[in-house]
Amino acid sequence: MKATQLLNNLGQSIWLDNITRDLLNTGTLKKYIEDLSVKGLTSNPTIFNQAIRNSSAYDADIRKKLKEGKKVEQLFFELALDDITRAADIFMPIYEKTNTVDGWVSLEVSPLLAYDTNSTLKAARDLCVRANRPNLFIKIPGTKEGLPAIEEAIFAGIPVNVTLLFSREDYLASAEAFLRGIERRLDEGLNPSVGSVGSVFISRWDGAVAGKVPENLKNKLGIALAQRTYKAARELLISPRWQRVYNAGAKPQRLLWASTGTKDPQVSEILYIKALAAPFTVNTMPEATLIALSKHNEMGSIMEADGGDCEDVLKQFASAGIDIDELGVRLQDEGAKSFVKSWNELMEVIESKSISLK
């Protein structure tokens, strides 16, 4: 049995961290769903940048939209919504079969709105209306500035994929924003069932300390912090406050592992996949990692609910001079800036294509 199926049997959902028009047109996405147990999909500006830059599949649409007088950002969201809604339709049977647990696709609001709650909420509403698909997550960064927008979006009934989480503290802050939104819905007599995932980035931790720690700690920081976060998430799920909203009809916010492709060529391509195997979580993986996983036929043990030895490992990093709290703040800040950079590059790619296609 493929390791992808074993992971599915364990109770962890596999999502694909990629979308291109070629994946849709060639039937590859459907094949991944049928053969590799893929149950959802995430996207971001970098993914769309590479998709549009490296394919001619968008050229005809770009020409058409240019003739209609569409501006660059407007043009992009129309292209993205075309892809995302097609993917949402492909995943709809899974969404219905799992009673909305899986079958989700994710689309990000412009990262240029990150410091503007009202504009973020307006953009999220607009994308939801235009997509007109119940299985669409709107991605909003879980930064300090993004937390109010997350709460307001959940209160408005907009499903949210909270992105750019790195530490346990980031995750807990985003979960609190989600819960406040749900509790406000209950207070207003509204349906409390609004979908959400909290996306915790893993591999960037190890990239940040590469060459700065002893060999025995190599590629262990991201996993240890994931274990710490998983313990906190499990404790939230059984807390009285959260169980109150479940009893009223709310669904839990699931933990999602992101950035799970291995950056170090000297270790297994599925290092993080095996280490992060845990029920009632999601692992959104790059296409190359998904394919690598499908070539294996065993998974190993699941994550320990109590965090295992994560605190001992993290103490070793502290002894090696790594300030984890400071690094977490820096990684989130760098991640937010990276999203803006990718967004600007995406706009430049579309502008460049527009000029050449004219």
Classify each residue of 135-169 as buried b or exposed e, where b means 16 or more C-beta atoms within 10 Å of its C-beta: bbbbbbbbbeebbebbbbbbbbbbbbbbbbbbbbe
Name 112's Cβ contacts closer than 8 Å, sequence gap at least 6: 340, 343
Single-letter amino acid code for the residue at 131 = A
CA distance linking residue 220 with residue 240, whole number of Å:
33
Q: How many C-beta neighbours within 10 Å does residue 121 have?
A: 23
Q: Report helix, strand or coil for 240.
A: helix
Tokens read off for 245: 């909203």
Q: Report helix, strand or coil for 50.
A: helix
CA distance linking residue 236 with residue 239, whole number of Å:
5
Note whether 14 and 4 are within 8 A (CB). yes
- Catalytic residue, chosen from 39, 65, 139, 353, is 139
| Residue 139 is a catalytic residue | yes
Q: How many C-beta neighbours within 10 Å does residue 102 have?
A: 20
CA distance linking residue 235 with residue 221, whole number of Å:
22
Note whether 327 and 248 are within 8 A (CB). no
Name 317's Cβ contacts closer than 8 Å, sequence gap at least 6: 209, 213, 217, 221, 224, 324
By annotation, the residues acting in catalysis are: 139
